[in-house]
């Protein structure tokens, strides 16, 4: 293909996206589009799967049967999202095994928030309320992204995430209206998860390397700072409603701008965790790699069994 032909294809491609048409797996796409989507979608899939660990940590200790069932269902949803997103990713010509390799070798990233420990039951509330809340703000615009399989996956993912968010907030309501001890659990969880949740929406626009191209491909529709502001403005009244205090002395309603001003985010902490030195980075990777390695004989056996069955079938046919 001549350079001119490629340019023409690229122009047609960009025009389709500008017209809000969906790009499907078999359509021609620039290599950079393919790679960027593999990176973002797999990062999302990895986040779902690693994200099962901090919440899975409380399944055996959930305080009531109702909460245990709800938590199990929630973590199962996350596994389902992971499966769905890995499959969507595979439509771009990469295998799930390759994607796992990237996660396990540290080449691929996952959301840094899951590198924080879940130390009390209230963290199940805070994660649902704040972490899933921030995730929804990130993800709702993706329901209209240009790559068809991703956009369709996100519609379903967002529906379930919004249910999780309400479930998390409901845990917090119950704690906040409970005994002083329970209220303290809720406030402590908010204190610990607030800043990491703000960081979850990504580095400030000035520091974000992917924004411009992603905006063009509708892989991103708002900047990190805009999303963060939206999250804060939405969450502060929810905290006030249940009598919890946002752990930010600089938080103040700005009448003129019609939004909240907030304090400085500790970006050193953000980059420390991103670079692999957060409180649980090593544990999370150890758990994932361990499950994969310990499961190898099981996967091998399943393959061997399927082959034997196939052979027997063929022999019978002869």
Measured from the CB of residue 117, what is the shortest distance to another protein in angstroms?
15
Regarding 72 and contact with another protein (CB under 8 A), the answer is yes
Measured from the CB of residue 239, what is the shortest distance to another protein in angstroms?
20
Label residues 119-133 b or e (16+ Cβ within 10 Å = b).
ebbbbbbbbbbbbbb
Q: By CB under 8 A, which span of 13-21, 225-233, 252-260, 296-304 interacts with another protein?
A: 296-304
Regarding 97 and contact with another protein (CB under 8 A), the answer is no
Measured from the CB of residue 288, what is the shortest distance to another protein in angstroms?
8
Regarding 172 and contact with another protein (CB under 8 A), the answer is no
CB nearer another protein, residue 26 or residue 297: 297
Regarding 276 and contact with another protein (CB under 8 A), the answer is no
Regarding 62 and contact with another protein (CB under 8 A), the answer is yes
Interaction mask 122-151, another protein, x per CB under 8 A: ------------------------------
Interaction mask 25-54, another protein, x per CB under 8 A: ------------------------x--xx-
Regarding 6 and contact with another protein (CB under 8 A), the answer is no
Regarding 310 and contact with another protein (CB under 8 A), the answer is no
Q: What distance in Å separates the CA atoms of residue 286 and residue 283, rounded to the nearest whole number? A: 5
Joined tokens for residue 179: 């005994």
Regarding 94 and contact with another protein (CB under 8 A), the answer is no
Regarding 117 and contact with another protein (CB under 8 A), the answer is no
The DSSP result for the chain, as a single string, is --HHHHHHHHHHHHHHHHTTPPB-TTS---HHHHHHHHHHHHHHHHHHHHTHHHHHTTTTT-SSHHHHHHHHHHHHHHHHHHHHHHHHHHTTS--HHHHHHHHHTT-S---GGGGS---STHHHHHIIIIIHHHHHHHHGGGGG-SBHHHHHHHHHHHHHHHHHHHHHHHHHHHHHTS-HHHHHHHHHHHHHHHHHHHHHT-S-GGG-SSHHHHHHTTS-SS-HHHHHHHHHHHHHHHHHHTT---S-TT-EEETTTTEEE-----HHHHHHIIIIISSSHHHHHHHHHHHHHHTHHHHHHHHHHHHHHHHHHHHHH-
Identified binder of another protein from the candidate list 213, 279, 295, 311, rule CB under 8 A: 295
Identified binder of another protein from the candidate list 1, 2, 20, 66, rule CB under 8 A: 66
Which of 288, 281, 289, 291 lies closest to 116 in space, CA to CA?
281
| Binding residues with another protein: total (CB under 8 A) | 46
Interaction mask 178-197, another protein, x per CB under 8 A: xx-xx---------------
Q: By CB under 8 A, which span of 80-88, 202-210, 215-223, 259-267 interacts with another protein?
A: 80-88
Identified binder of another protein from the candidate list 5, 60, 314, 316, rule CB under 8 A: 60
Check: CB of residue 88 under 8 Å from CB of residue 41: yes
Per CB under 8 A, residues contacting another protein are 49, 52-53, 56, 59-69, 72-73, 75-76, 79-80, 82-83, 86, 121, 171, 174, 178-179, 181-182, 287, 290-291, 294-302, 304-305, 308
């Amino acid at each position: 293909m001549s350079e001119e032909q490629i340019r023409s294809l690229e122009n047609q491609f960009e025009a389709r996206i500008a017209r809000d048409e969906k790009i499907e797996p078999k359509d021609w796409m620039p290599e950079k589009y393919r790679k960027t989507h593999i990176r973002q979608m797999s990062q999302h899939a990895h986040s779902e799967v690693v994200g099962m660990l901090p919440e899975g940590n409380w399944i055996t200790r959930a305080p009531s049967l109702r909460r245990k069932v709800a938590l199990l269902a929630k973590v199962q949803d996350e596994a389902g999202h992971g499966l769905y997103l890995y499959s969507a990713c595979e439509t771009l010509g990469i295998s799930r095994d390759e994607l796992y390799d990237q996660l396990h070798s540290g080449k691929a990233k996952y959301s840094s928030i899951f590198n924080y420990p879940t130390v009390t039951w209230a963290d199940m509330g805070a994660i649902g309320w704040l972490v899933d809340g921030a995730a929804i703000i990130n993800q709702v615009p993706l329901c209209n992204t240009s790559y068809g399989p991703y956009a369709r996956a996100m519609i379903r993912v967002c529906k379930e995430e919004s249910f999780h968010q309400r479930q998390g907030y409901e845990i917090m309501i119950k704690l906040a209206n409970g005994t002083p001890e329970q209220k303290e659990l809720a406030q402590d969880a908010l204190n610990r998860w607030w800043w990491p949740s703000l960081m979850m929406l990504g580095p400030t626009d000035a520091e974000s390397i992917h924004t411009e191209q992603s905006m063009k491909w509708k892989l991103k529709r708002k900047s990190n700072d805009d999303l963060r502001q939206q999250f804060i403005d939405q969450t502060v009244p929810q905290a006030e409603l249940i009598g919890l205090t946002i752990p930010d002395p600089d938080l103040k309603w700005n009448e003129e701008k019609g939004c909240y001003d907030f304090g400085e985010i500790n970006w050193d902490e953000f980059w420390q965790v991103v670079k692999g030195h957060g409180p649980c980075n090593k544990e999370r990777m150890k758990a994932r790699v361990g499950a994969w390695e310990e499961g190898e004989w099981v996967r091998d056996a399943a393959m061997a069994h399927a082959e034997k069955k196939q052979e027997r079938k063929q022999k019978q046919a002869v």
